[in-house]
A and B are shown apart, each in its own frame.
Chain A
Amino acid sequence: MSSHVTVDRWQFTLTVTFHYLFPIVTMGLAVFIAWLQTVAHLGREDRRWPLRRTAEDRRAHEAAAHLWTKVFAVSFAVGVVTGVPLEFQFGTNWAAFSNYAGGVIGQTLAMEGVFAFFAESLFIGILLAGRGRVSERLRWIAALMMLAGSWVSGFFIIATNAWMQHPVGYTLRDGRAQLDSLGQLLTNPWLPWQYAHTMSGAAVSGAFLLAALGAFYTLSGRHPEVAGVCLRIGVVGALVFSLLQIFPTGDRHARQVARYQPSSFAAMEGLFRSERGAPLVIIGTPDTEQRRLESAIEMPHALSLLTSRRWDAEIRGLDSIPVDRWPDSVPLVYYAYHIMVGVGTLLLVLAALAVLLVRRGRLLRSRSVLWALMLAPPFTFVANIAGWTVAETGRQPWVVFGLMRTHEGASPASSVPAGTAIFTLLGFAGLYLVIGLVYVLIVVRIVARGPELRAPPTKPRPTAAAVVG
């Protein structure tokens, strides 16, 4: 592979990985901000569960929503500015890929722009307008619209990626993919499970962020009302979405990978030889030279059972695939996959333990569990990024699976030589380092300042006439 392609790949890896940290936060938090706002807006003492709320409880929800909206806003801003380079890099560094695939995935990317970004850019403004500038009702609608906008945006991005993983609805003409059917593109069988798995992964991060803030305030003895709300919602959300992450989304998505990308699946599982009754590897070291797994601990037959629901089903190993169609780093795919599954499982155990303690009313006194919750969020990002690493490196050596190899997709070296790309790669790295530091600084300040509980209302709720002003 020529050196300019390597640099192009590193630049995309850097920019997409850094960018994706922020959509995880916004897509994940959007779920919980929408819920907090819903309770704050609709909760009454005379309603049925889960909206039966005391005025105090509602104020705590509102304060939590307001605090998280501040974090959301900074994350959204960084997500927007670091997202633009991704679309444009398709043209700058992956010109041949753009030329080849633009007629198909241009549709989904342009749809993301008009159906998601315009809505988000408006409603974030409303959501952030100072208290009293817009009505509570409009702010609640804005919270729901931000949830819809960020999740629709995610849908079109996954639709784009799904086509690269499993191309459908196109024909090849004059060396370019031309769209046949938008319907097929949007109902790609790969799409729903990858989407569900990705979004639920973001929600896991959002839930653990809430729980971590609650744990931090509890451990430092501050803001007990808001801490309680964040902890309860956080741990329950973490448990629900961690379970969804494994079943059905993870299970179904993995079975699709096995079906449509056997090379990727074999690398994920470290399966070098096709086998009947293939074992599930818990721990082991893939050795690509010897084509075997070193010092493995395995569960016999489990992989066949999980993949095909049959004890003795045959699973295709890497030996059934020509070497030039193997992912170019089998160990990378294998380790990323096992890190994702391992970390995800530990997070599930932590969430289950925390929910158990909440039910027994003992979470606020269990300092060790609170510490674990406080330190958990970074690991949710590790799991999310590892998951994307599996998806993207597992697809290799293809940029469009089975159609276009990654090195064929890069801009010609005559237009963008390796040195040029190294220069901009370093520029992005430096810029993103500064942005990352500023982001952390600002979020730490928001958390340190804490929520503002509004005094109990002395006058009736604002009416629709107070929408503006």
Chain B
Amino acid sequence: MATVWFIVLVVMITAYVVLDGFDLGVGALHRLLARTDEEREEAVAAVGPVWNGNEVWLIAGGGVLFLAFPRAYAGAFSGLYFGLVLVLWLLIGRGLGIELRDEVDSPLWRTACDTVFWVCSAALALVFGVALGNVVRGVPLHADGYFHLPLFSILNPYALLVGLFGLVVLAAHGASFLAARATGPLGARAARWAGGLWWAELVVLAGLAVPTDDVRHSALEAFTDHPWRLVFPVLAVGALAAGFAFRRSGALGRAFLASCAFIAGLLGSVAAGLYPSVLPAREGRPFGLTVHNAATSDHALRIALWWWPVGIALAVGYFVLAYRLHLLGGPRAGPAGGPQTGGGGPTGRPRA
């Protein structure tokens, strides 16, 4: 039963990174890609109506970790205290940067909000990568299930490398989203960035191979012992290649879907390499938290499995509706009425 919830947790996190990933990616490239006030408005409008729903996957994913693996929730969040609080502050800045942008009709105010959105998104992509790097590397857990990592140990070289990878991957993800969605010079520039970032992804991914084997050799054994788990890395590499091919042939929408599959493959690979660990100790050290010693009772997990599918089915329904309204109502809507007529703000509402 704990394994089922491990899978649920991985699915939730993957959904979060795929969905909020393109918001963050668009944000991370925001002031680099979009040159004029109109272009920046178009870029924010592309994520405006959906970022909040995307972020809910993080909250719900945190809820799943809390519900199913309270010990891991307690240990990871208190041990990575500064990292977590930094994430919270950046999430506040990112959300308000989008939402408050059009509340005051002044170019200065919009530039300020855009800059907050840009800096916070880029930093979030980096910090999420750093957090993942620390989990893969393992943390110095004690027997009581707690640990302490000061800020400068959170920022160790391996984690920073994964952080860089996170930034590159999400920026590429955001660029392919914008390339598929935006029109005019903004869309063309996004497509060029997506092309360049694809090579960056490849370089950093290759650069991660040896250090990852260094910090977590057991992950390799997980794949050799259970060859079926190789589907995840194969999916990632295949999606990366497919993304390249789709972009070359101009199928930008499919290139974005390939980017989604690439992220899913990556996170699936991490999960498959770590299982059964939820929060591993450093390689070779005891006290790691696994699905067995960190989970709540089987009884509670079984209860939660009754309502969970209902809630997620509803959520998926809302998402289909939201994305249909958003994607049909936006600039690429064709007959539904040209690019943002009437100066619609990022959330589609008229400017206050």
Contact = CB atoms under 8 A, between A and B. Distances in A.
Interface of A: 70, 73-74, 77-78, 80-82, 84-85, 87-88, 90-93, 95-96, 98-104, 106-107, 109-115, 117-119, 121-122, 124-126, 128-131, 133-134, 173, 176, 178-182, 411-412, 414-416, 420, 424, 427, 431, 435, 438, 441-442, 445-446, 449, 468-469
Interface stretch (B33-41, B184-192, B294-302): B294-302
A95 B59 contact: no
B143 interface: no
A113 B59 contact: yes
Interface in B38-95: 49-50, 52-53, 55-56, 58-60, 62-64, 66-68, 70-71, 73-79, 81-82, 84-85, 87-89, 91-92, 95
B220 interface: no
A175 B71 CA distance: 12
Nearest to B92: A81
A102 B348 contact: no
B325 A468 contact: yes
B352 A113 contact: no
Contacts of A117: 56, 59-60
A237 to B, nearest CB: 26
A337 to B, nearest CB: 32
The 4 closest A-B pairs by CB, nearest first: A102-B70, A91-B77, A106-B67, A114-B311
A170 to B, nearest CB: 9
Nearest to B344: A130
Contact of A179 (B85, B92, B297): B297
Given A92-B85, A118-B318, A130-B348, A468 B336 contact: yes
11 contacts: A98-B74, A99-B73, A110-B308, A128-B349, A130-B348, A176-B296, A179-B297, A420-B82, A427-B85, A431-B89, A449-B352
B60 A133 contact: no
Main SS of chain B's interface residues?
helix
B350 A110 contact: no
Nearest to A170: B300
B347 interface: yes
A179 B296 contact: yes
B7 interface: no
Contacts of B322: 121-122, 125
Most buried by B among A98, A414, A431: A98
A255 B62 CA distance: 36
Interface string B302-321: 01101110011011001101
A130 B81 contact: no
B65 to A, nearest CB: 8
B352 A77 contact: no
Given A110-B60, A420-B81, A180 B95 contact: no
Contact of B66 (A109, A124, A129): A109
A117 B348 CA distance: 20
B4 interface: no
Nearest to B50: A125
B329 A133 contact: yes
B96 A81 contact: yes
Interface stretch (B145-153, B243-251, B255-263): B145-153
B231 interface: no
A415 to B, nearest CB: 4
B103 A110 contact: no
A92 B318 CA distance: 31
B85 A113 contact: no
B104 interface: yes
Interface string B254-284: 0000000000000000000000000000000
Contact of B78 (A77, A85, A91, A445): A91
A88 B62 contact: yes
A445 B349 contact: no
Given A122-B321, A438-B96, 19 more contacts: A74-B103, A81-B91, A88-B62, A91-B76, A95-B146, A99-B70, A102-B73, A102-B296, A118-B53, A118-B60, A121-B318, A121-B322, A411-B78, A415-B78, A415-B147, A415-B148, A420-B81, A427-B89, A449-B352
Interface residues of B, number: 76
B181 interface: no
Contacts of B315: 114, 118
A420 B81 CA distance: 9
A107 B146 contact: no
Nearest to B337: A469
A307 B50 CA distance: 49
Contacts of B318: 118-119, 121-122
Contacts of B66: 87, 90-91, 98, 102, 106, 109-110
A469 B296 contact: no
Nearest to B343: A130
Nearest to A93: B78
B173 interface: no
A107 B82 CA distance: 26
A95 B147 CA distance: 11
Contacts of A91: 62, 66, 73-74, 76-78, 84
Given A81-B92, A126-B325, A87 B62 contact: yes
B328 interface: yes
A85 B325 contact: no
Contacts of A431: 89, 92
A106 B337 CA distance: 45
A111 B309 CA distance: 11
B342 interface: yes
Nearest to A106: B67
B64 A125 contact: no
B110 interface: no
Contacts of B52: 80, 121, 124-125
